[in-house]
C-alpha cells in the first residue's frame, strides 16, 4: 500500500501504470491494484478475484480488463456510500461506471480487447504478436495510464445521490454478477461479502454497455477467489511463473489439470459460450440498456437470464469443488 497516497499526483498514478503492467502482466489486476493504493483501501481478496478478467475475461477478447478493473474500483471508492444508502448509491455508482466506460470507448475506440489488440491469445502467434515488437503492450500501457488518470479524478468527486427513495420501493435490485457469486457461495462455501457487494458494476455488460455478461464475470471471479494470484503476497518471479503457466494453458485445448485460473477459466468461458451462444450481454439479451430502471425491469422478468445465472453458478462451482478434492 502506498504511503501518503493522498499526496501523490495524477501524473504519479499515471506513471505507475507502466511499471504496474510490466510487473503484473495483467491489465485488470494492475488497474485495480493502483486504484486500491490510490484510495488507501487494501482488499487482497477483491484483487485476487480479478485475476481472470485479464485480456477481456480469460484472454477471450471481451471487455478490456482496464474497464472491468476500473469499474470495480469505482464501486470500492464509494463503499461507505453503498453501505449507508444501498440501492440509491449503487444506482449513482453505476452512472459513474457508465460515464467511465463511455469515456474509455470514446477515447480509445472500443471497450473490447479483441478490437483494441487485434490478437488471439489462444494461439501462439497471437501471444507472440502481443509481446513483440512491443507496440501492442505499449498500447495497453498508454490506455491504462489514461484510465488511471481518469480514475484519479473520479476519486476526488463525492458521489451525488439526489433521490431519497428507490423507485423499486422495498424490492431489492437484482445484479447478475452478485447473484452468481452468492450462488457459488451457497454451493461451495467460497465467497467474499465485499466482492458480492461491489459486483453490481457488471450489470448490463459493465455499466449497461453490453459487454461481458455479468453472470459469466461472476463465475470467473468466483473461481479466482480460490485460484487467483495473491498479488501483494507473492514474489515477482512467482507471479511471472503463474503468468507463463496460465498463458501456456490458453494454448492447450485440453489441459491436464484445472487447478490453475486460466485453464479453469477457459473451460468455463467455452462452456458458457457453447450453451448460451455468446459471452456478451448485448448479444445474449438482444438489446442495450440505457439506465438502471430499464435494466432492472428486464432482468427481473427474464427467464433466459435466470438460466444463465444457473449455468454460471453450476460451471464455476464444479470447478471449485473439483479443485478442493
Is pLDDT above 80 for 306?
A: yes
Q: Is the pLDDT of residue 307 over 90?
A: yes
Q: How far apart, in Å, are the Cα atoms of 157 and each of 2, 78, 93?
A: 21, 10, 12
Give pLDDT, residue 2: 61
The whole-number pLDDT of residue 258 equals 81
For residue 40, pLDDT over 90 is answered with yes
What is the reported pLDDT for 238?
Answer: 92
Mean pLDDT of 183-211: 97
pLDDT of residue 79: 97
pLDDT at 169 (0 to 100): 62
**pLDDT tens-digit profile of 121-171?**
999 999 999 999 999 999 999 999 999 999 999 999 999 887 666 656 668
How much is the pLDDT for 163? 67
What pLDDT, on a 0 to 100 scale, did the predictor assign at position 164? 60
pLDDT at 323: 84
- The pLDDT value given to residue 143: 97
Residue 237: the pLDDT is 93
Query: What does the pLDDT read at residue 95?
Result: 95
Q: In this prediction, what percent of the chain has a pLDDT beyond 70?
A: 96
Give me the mean pLDDT over the 2-25 stretch. 86
**Model confidence at 38: pLDDT above 80:** yes
Round to whole Å and give the CA distance between 183 and 188.
Answer: 9
Position 168 scores a pLDDT of 62
Query: For the whole model, what pTM was predicted?
Result: 0.95
Across the range 218-225, mean pLDDT stands at: 98
3-state secondary structure the chain: CCCCHHHCCHHHHHHHHHHHHHHHCCHHHHHHHHHHHHHCCCCHHHHHHCHHHCCCCCCCCCECHHHHHHHHHHHHHCHHHHHHHCHHHHHHHHHHHHHHHHHHHHHHCCCEHHHHHCCCCCCHHHHHHHHCCCHHHHHHHHHHHHHHHHHHHHHCCCCCCCCCCCCCCCCCCCCHHHHHHHHHHHHHCCCCHHHHHHHHHHCCCCCCCCCECHHHHHHHHHHHHHHCCCHHHCCHHHHHHHHHHHHHHCCCCCCCCCCCHHHHHHHHHHHHHHHHCCCEHHHHHCCCCCCHHHHHHHHCCCHHHHHHHHHHHHHHHHHHHHHHC
What is the per-residue pLDDT across 61-106, written as a single tens digit (0 to 9) for each? Answer: 999 999 999 999 999 999 999 999 999 999 999 999 999 999 999 9
Residue 16 has pLDDT above 80, yes or no: yes
- 299: pLDDT confidence band, cut at 50, 70 and 90? very high
Amino acid at each position: 500500500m502506498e504511503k501518503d497516497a493522498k499526496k501523490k499526483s495524477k501524473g504519479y498514478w499515471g506513471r505507475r501504470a507502466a511499471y504496474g503492467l510490466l510487473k503484473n502482466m495483467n491489465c485488470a489486476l494492475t488497474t485495480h491494484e493502483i486504484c486500491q493504493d490510490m484510495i488507501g483501501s487494501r482488499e487482497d481478496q477483491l484483487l485476487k478475484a480479478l485475476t481472470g478478467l485479464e485480456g477481456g475475461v480469460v484472454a477471450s477478447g471481451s471487455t478490456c480488463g482496464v474497464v472491468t478493473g476500473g469499474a470495480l474500483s469505482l464501486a470500492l471508492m464509494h463503499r461507505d456510500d453503498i453501505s449507508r444508502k444501498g440501492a440509491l448509491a449503487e444506482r449513482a455508482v453505476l452512472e459513474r461506471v457508465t460515464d467511465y466506460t463511455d469515456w474509455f470507448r470514446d477515447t480509445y475506440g472500443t471497450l473490447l480487447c479483441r478490437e483494441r489488440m487485434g490478437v488471439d491469445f489462444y494461439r501462439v502467434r497471437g501471444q507472440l504478436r502481443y509481446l513483440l515488437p512491443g507496440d501492442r503492450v505499449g498500447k495497453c500501457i498508454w490506455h491504462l495510464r489514461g484510465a488511471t488518470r481518469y480514475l484519479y479524478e473520479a476519486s476526488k468527486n463525492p458521489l451525488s445521490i439526489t433521490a431519497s427513495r428507490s423507485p423499486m420501493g422495498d424490492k431489492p435490485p437484482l445484479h447478475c454478477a452478485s447473484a452468481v457469486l452468492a450462488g457459488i457461495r451457497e454451493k461451495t462455501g467460497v465467497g467474499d461479502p465485499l466482492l458480492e457487494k461491489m459486483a453490481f458494476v457488471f450489470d448490463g455488460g459493465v455499466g449497461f454497455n453490453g459487454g461481458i455478461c455479468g453472470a459469466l464475470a461472476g463465475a470467473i471471479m468466483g473461481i479466482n477467489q480460490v485460484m487467483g494470484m495473491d498479488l501483494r503476497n507473492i514474489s515477482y518471479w512467482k507471479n511471472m511463473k503463474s503468468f507463463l503457466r496460465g498463458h501456456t494453458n490458453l494454448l492447450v485445448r485440453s489441459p491436464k489439470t484445472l487447478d490453475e485460473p486460466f485453464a479453469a477459466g477457459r473451460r468455463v468461458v467455452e462452456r458458457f459460450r457453447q450453451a448460451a451462444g455468446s459471452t456478451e450481454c448485448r448479444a445474449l439479451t438482444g438489446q442495450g440498456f440505457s439506465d438502471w430502471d430499464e435494466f432492472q425491469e428486464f432482468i427481473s422478468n427474464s427467464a433466459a437470464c435466470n438460466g444463465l445465472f444457473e449455468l454460471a453458478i453450476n460451471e464455476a462451482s464444479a470447478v471449485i469443488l473439483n479443485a478442493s478434492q
